Amino acid sequence: MKISSALRVALVALAAFAGASLSSAARAEEGTVSLTIYKAGWIIGGSGGGGWLNFRGRSYPLTAGGLDYGLVFGGSKTMLVGRVRNINRPSDVAGVYGAAGAGLAVGSGARAIVLTNQKGAVLELSGQQVGLMANADLSGLAITLK
């Protein structure tokens, strides 16, 4: 059975593209992140804070801020630690992360979240939330390198 040369060229190009995609994903690395986020609101809320990215043996300061809209009431402080995956350079962690969520914190409680930004960086964070906060909202968190 003969394969036409156009089909053969298309298959070779597809294989090369797939190989390049896999090799860039294979080169992606991970680091650790710690964030402290302060959140307050009444219907519309805001959050802000900062933390650190540890990547390839170096530490990079981060700032974080965002808006929440929906049922938001109260104030809280959340301390999160975890890892960031699928980054090639420290600037890949910077970007806008979106989430929809619901929660209630009276006193203190556990918090865990997985977020992805437009560059494909994946944050997997968990920690402790302290304060009085009730929320069922859409929120966005922008992280930047200082």
105-124 residues labelled b (16+ CB within 10 A) or e (exposed): beeeeebebebebeeebbbe
Q: What is the mean pLDDT of residues 129-137?
A: 78
Position 80 in a domain: yes
* 36-86 confidence digits (pLDDT tens): 999 898 878 899 999 999 999 999 999 999 888 777 888 999 999 999 999
123: CATH: 2.40.128
**pLDDT higher than threshold 60 for residue 128:** yes
Position 58 in a domain: yes
Position 124 in a domain: yes
Position 112 in a domain: yes
Total domains, the chain: 1
Of 36 and 21, more confident: 36
Domain span at residue 77 reads 30-145
Position 12 in a domain: no
